[in-house]
Structure 1
Amino acid sequence: MSDEAAGALAMDIEYRVHEILEEAMKFMRHSKRSTLSTTDINYALKVLNVEPVFGYESSRPIKFRPVVGQPLYFIEDEEVDLEKVINGPLPKVPKQVAFTAHWLAIEGVQPAIPENPTPDEIQSLPATIKGLDVSRAAATASNVQVKPLVKHILSKELQLYFERIAEALTGDNADLKSAAIGSLRNDPGLHQLVPYLIQIISEQVTHNLANLALMNTMLDTVDALINNKTIFIEPYIHAIMPPVLTLLLAKQVGGDNKDHYKLRDYAGSIAIYLCNKYAQTYHTLKPRVTRTLLRAFMDPSKSPGTHYGALIALKGLGPEVVRLVVLENVKVWSTTLSELPEEDKKVLVAAAKDTLSVLKENEDISEPSEQDKEKVREIVGEVLADEILADDALVRGILAAPSL
């Protein structure tokens, strides 16, 4: 190549390099950086429609070593000990990328699901993360009562309606109670009052368990709210379940009044309805309720009413729950019945038989053999054996249980 051609080519190359560097500097400045990177050069090449430089980027800085005696530089390659690589532990397999969706809040109410933080976790967060300013955080730390910045404002009409409803529900006038419950069951536009109504239910259940009529009214109120088609009750399920389970499993409801069994039947039907309807939304609802019922069922120190409530609720959760929870433990549980009064014993034996009846097998009409009956007697225990063996379909159902 002649000197004239080389000079012309050098000038063109110098112009192209300056052009690329100017474009790369633009990317660097827009990225708020003061150091030019290889990424800026690649972006500049793309903008100028120049074929990009193939290769890969390194997170470590590249070190150039000079060649001794010559104006040349090269990238020094790091020596790798293959024996260490072969004998070293394998890296962990990266997890596949997955996405899931959940409700952070529904109409201002945070659902009680594992993905959302618990109130204790929120309380332990720093004030700046929780959205509090410094003055409010300091006031909270010094136990000074601070009014919230956002208030839940009810219209005067709703406030007046709520006062009348609360007065009717806790009063003695049966006509007013019936009208109030009918209004809660059918009237639209009551969604803002739901948390206040649930608070009334919880307070009355906590402080007035001896008042059987009032407890029935509270269950009527719960039933009205969950059956009102205009109320989105789903975010409040975690607040409704505790008072319902309290009336189902409380040690004593209504004092010495024997009608508390009917109240427990009512509470059990509501608990079963909520578990079955919202089991898909709250995946932990049914297992948590089942564990609560199992603890109440297997605790010998609990009252007969508690055992009765646990049995009727377990029945409503389906044959699989009855098989795993009741049938597997009924023999041990039945040994505690001998210490009870005869009337309570009869009620619990009938409840246990009724719960196990969901396992009935009606297809086979043959009478079970004596050997089968002895096997069932061994499974359920002597206390329940006579009642169970009187029902051939139930005997066949118990024998057909997979785990037995």
Structure 2
Amino acid sequence: MAAKDKSTPGAVGHFGVDSIKVIGDQLAISNITDDASRLLAEDVTYRVKCILQDSLKFAMHSKRRTVNTSDIDFALKNKNIEPLFGFCNSDHSPFRFASGGGRELYFNEEKEIDLSEVLTASTTPKLPQDVALKVHWLSIDGIQPSIPENPPPLSRDQQREESVDPAMALKKASQLKPNQQQKLQQKKKKQMEMVRVKQFATHELSVEQQLYYKEITEACVGSDEGRRSEALQSLTYDPGLHQMLPRLCTFISEGVKVNVVQNNLALLIYLMRMVKALLDNHNLYLEKYLHELIPTVLTCIVSKQLCNRPDVDNHWTLRDFASRLLSQICKNFNTTTNNVQTRVTQLLSQSLDKDRLPMASYYGAVSGLCELGTEVQRTFLLKRLKAIGERIRVYFETSNLSTADKSAAEHIKQLLLKVLPQCLKVSPTLNVHNVMTILNSN
């Protein structure tokens, strides 16, 4: 509390004798003499003015015209005085003015608080949790499990580097210092000795990863569409799947082999959706597993029969979807080293030259070439257009053929009429009229 000194009326902020006595009464000090009160008032007034002047300087340096509590805190710190804690209100200080009996006082009005309301208030913060220890495996048989507590797994660039350059580990070892190389060699010797003493195969997946693999594979091929969508979304965006990637690719490959024999169209679609999810995951590098994925996708494109009722079931959608996946693989992973697109194009184009190729497989080969781009269409389809037209003409003119073959011939015709006009602008030998004549003659 502060009061104006009687000897200096109007001096705002000057502590008087009465203010010192009132403060002493609040602190249970009632025997303060007038001389002591006057000396204390002068000293307090001087120190408060110094703090206010420094606070004003901080406000001016902050380009403000109003002094706030942070300026006062900075001024106290500048003088090595402990700052005030708990006064961070942006409003003005809630002091009230009162006068009477020849005294003018400024005091802070204290409100009465009902403890029952405070205890039952909904805004009461929750009690902090007890301190606890959590144990996790940093390494299991020399293999680090992929869990949140451990460092993150390999990035996609590191996976790419290991895939392209298998001798990268040897290069890193050659860059080590002599003492580090010696330790590495000793470690290898110990591992070799351990393998000779005890023959065992370590499982690279932790228990959590094995459980995740089981749940994700069951959900992807299960009957629950909501659960399947969640599983595919996890395969698309989860960054820690590189350790399970070999098993997922093997699961897809084996699943296609079994379900093609059983003509299970639904499960083949689900497995191709898993391939699509893995291809869309930007954290994975699939080049090391193309030897499993490409034959799997090609099987769904050119297989003779994918369902039990080829004349009724819409297996054409699966062939088109697998063709788009094959195009995505060629676009993302084709290099001058592996020549993925060249080898796939040659395989599909050579299939078109086989006379005994089933019409469903013939449609798949045409669909795969159409999805590989305009240049492939112009080079491999346009020069075979007359042969394709002659082949499908037989199925339109012969009445004793199966409905499935006639449906395949009609789908081939519609596919070529849809796709080829896009590439005829760059072909000097054919035009739209010639293509329409060849196909519509059927």
Q: Is the Cα–Cα contact under 8 Å of residues 112 and 238 in structure 1 kept in the other structure?
A: no
> 1:128-167 residue pairs with structure 2 within 5 A?
151-167=202-218
> 1:113-192 residue pairs with structure 2 within 5 A?
151-192=202-243
Displacement, 1:216? Answer: 0.9
Displacement, 1:283? Answer: 4.2
Q: Which amino acid aligns with 1:361?
A: K
Distance 2:356 2:232 in 1: 37
- Go from structure 1 to structure 2 and tell me whether the alpha carbon gap of 1:296 and 1:355 turns closer, same or farther (over 3 Å shift): farther
- Go from structure 1 to structure 2 and tell me whether the alpha carbon gap of 1:112 and 1:224 turns closer, same or farther (over 3 Å shift): farther
**Which residue, out of 335, 340, 346, partners 1:285?**
340
**Partner deviation per Cα, 1:104-140 (whole Å, 9 max, x = no partner):** x958976699xxxxxxxxxxxxxxxxxxx9xx99xxx
Displacement, 1:199? Answer: 0.6
**Which residue, out of 219, 228, 234, partners 2:272?**
219
- Go from structure 1 to structure 2 and tell me whether the alpha carbon gap of 1:382 and 1:302 turns closer, same or farther (over 3 Å shift): farther
Distance 1:147 1:291 in 2: 45
Distance 2:315 2:417 in 1: 20
Q: Secondary structure at the match of 2:275?
A: helix
- Go from structure 1 to structure 2 and tell me whether the alpha carbon gap of 1:206 and 1:147 turns closer, same or farther (over 3 Å shift): farther
Distance 2:376 2:320 in 1: 18
What corresponds to 2:385 in structure 1? 330
Q: Is the Cα–Cα contact under 8 Å of residues 279 and 286 in structure 1 kept in the other structure?
A: yes
**Which residue, out of 409, 414, 423, partners 1:345?**
409
Q: TM-score, normalised by structure 2?
A: 0.49
Distance 1:107 1:349 in 2: 41
Q: TM-score, normalised by structure 1?
A: 0.54
Distance 2:232 2:337 in 1: 27
Q: Is the Cα–Cα contact under 8 Å of residues 213 and 244 in structure 2 kept in the other structure?
A: yes
What corresponds to 2:22 in structure 1? none
What corresponds to 1:195 in structure 2? 246
Number of equivalences: 247
Q: Is the Cα–Cα contact under 8 Å of residues 169 and 177 in structure 1 kept in the other structure?
A: yes
Structure 1 residue 261 corresponds to structure 2 residue 325: no
Structure 2 residue runs of 5 or longer lacking an equivalent are 1-157, 167-191, 396-404
Q: Secondary structure at the match of 1:154?
A: coil
**Percentage of pairs with the same residue:** 29
- Go from structure 1 to structure 2 and tell me whether the alpha carbon gap of 1:234 and 1:301 turns closer, same or farther (over 3 Å shift): same
Cα RMSD (Å): 3.7
**Which residue, out of 247, 251, 258, partners 2:304?**
251
Q: Which amino acid aligns with 2:266?
A: A
Distance 1:179 1:332 in 2: 46
Displacement, 1:287? Answer: 0.8
Distance 2:339 2:160 in 1: 22
Displacement, 1:309? Answer: 1.6
What corresponds to 2:256 in structure 1? 205
Displacement, 1:180? Answer: 1.2
**Partner deviation per Cα, 1:74-125 (whole Å, 9 max, x = no partner):** xxxxxxxxxxxxxxxxxxxxxxxxxxxxxxx958976699xxxxxxxxxxxx
Q: Is the Cα–Cα contact under 8 Å of residues 219 and 227 in structure 2 kept in the other structure?
A: yes
**Partner deviation per Cα, 1:113-168 (whole Å, 9 max, x = no partner):** 9xxxxxxxxxxxxxxxxxxx9xx99xxxxxxxx9677x451111101100111222
Q: Is the Cα–Cα contact under 8 Å of residues 417 and 436 in structure 2 kept in the other structure?
A: no
Distance 2:422 2:205 in 1: 47
Displacement, 1:172? Answer: 2.2
Distance 1:246 1:189 in 2: 29
Distance 1:234 1:283 in 2: 10
> 1:288-307 residue pairs with structure 2 within 5 A?
288-307=343-362
